[in-house]
Amino acid sequence: MSHITETRKQTVQPNDLARSLRKTKLSRGDRAVGTASHAMLIIWSIIVVLPMLWTLMTSFKTTKEIFASPFALPAEWNFENYVSAWTEYDIGGMFFNTILVVGFALVIVMVLGAMCAYVLARFTFPGSKAIYYLMLAGLTFPIFLAIVPLFFILKNIGLLNTLPGLTLTYVAFALPFTVFFLFAFFKGLPDEIQEAAYVDGAGEWRTFFQVMLPMAKPGMASVAIFNFLGLWNQFLLPIALNTDKSKYVLSQGMASFASSAGYAVNFGALFAAVIITITPVLIVYVIFQRQLQGSVSQGTMK
């Protein structure tokens, strides 16, 4: 729609004299504001993009080149840094761990979250409000409050420093957000369809999995994207609860990589590891960009 008006504005119709006069009169101020706005937004875009391009370029340099000059292009464009990051510094193993933990946690939290949200949104029973507020508390309180006891809970059930233990905590802490978002979604679905499913003889289980869940697909998709990003980027839970080096996930691995003392750090490989870590979220972002921004917008509409 805005495109049409834009092009109409540019091809000034000569017969409409009054309008074009008004346009020229106003356009000076408009142009100043427009130029200033564009200038600011372009500067901001540069501030956003430049660091990433620089990181990408630097990831191909040797450590010596990095210290020589921040601008010089790498003498040789090869993937040596990537190879050494992947194998020597075990980014490969961490990548695999991260995919495992995030993948399982994502599937479990989506299923459990959808089920819980569905029950809370569409069934009334004593205590449903209390559960809702309990979820709200889980969303508000800082994870830092929970981290010490959580460490010992996992220790006592023997899941400390294990990937299943980490997965389980990921599920638990992603649950309130998932339930909240999907709660609104399930609430908005029409009653009639659920009733129709009952009338046709479907039980509660079947009504959910074959009728209601498929209808919640758009909501599920946006929550899943947010959860994927949130879990992929999770930092505190792994560094506190997953301290066994062979089970590191990417985020904590990156931190230990960077802090592994002074000049011994292979900076080229560090930059390469940064790029490796960003790539999956970049792919998700590019594919789901529209949907992501759409769901941010949806959040404001309720």
**Which parts of 172-231 interact with other proteins (CB under 8 A)?**
172-173, 175-176, 179, 191, 195, 198-199, 201-206, 208-209, 229
284 near other proteins, rule: CB under 8 A: yes
255 near other proteins, rule: CB under 8 A: yes
Stretch of 78-86, 87-95, 180-188, 273-281 contacting other proteins, by CB under 8 A: 273-281
CB of 144 to other proteins, least distance (A): 5
- C-alpha Rg value of the chain to the nearest Å: 26
From candidates 20, 78, 87, 233, binder to other proteins by CB under 8 A: 233
From candidates 78, 87, 260, 293, binder to other proteins by CB under 8 A: 293
For the window 60-99, what string marks contact with other proteins as x by the rule CB under 8 A?
Answer: ------xx-xxx----------------------------
Main-chain dihedrals φ then ψ at residue 89, nearest 5 degrees:
-95, 10
6 near other proteins, rule: CB under 8 A: yes
CB closer to other proteins, 11 vs 300: 300
Structure tokens at 249: 């996930």
Contacts 24+ apart (CB under 8 A), 207-215: 208/115, 208/118, 212/118, 212/122, 212/186, 213/114, 213/118, 215/189
- DSSP, residue by residue, 67-108: HH-SSSPPSS--SHHHHHHHHTT-HHHHHHHHHHHHHHHHHH
Q: Give the Cβ contact number of residue 238 at 10 Å.
A: 24
CB of 44 to other proteins, least distance (A): 6
CB closer to other proteins, 82 vs 232: 232
Structure tokens at 178: 């998932």
CB of 106 to other proteins, least distance (A): 15
For the window 138-157, what string marks contact with other proteins as x by the rule CB under 8 A?
Answer: x-xxxxxxxxxxxxxx----
* Spacing of C-alpha 211 from chain mean position: 28
| Number of chain residues interacting with other proteins (CB under 8 A) | 113
263 near other proteins, rule: CB under 8 A: no
244 near 236, Cβ under 8 Å?
A: no
279 near other proteins, rule: CB under 8 A: no
CB of 122 to other proteins, least distance (A): 10
CA angle 295, 297, 301 (to 5 degrees): 110
220 near 288, Cβ under 8 Å?
A: no
Length of the chain: 302
CA separation for the pair 132, 140 (Å, rounded): 13
CB closer to other proteins, 100 vs 131: 131
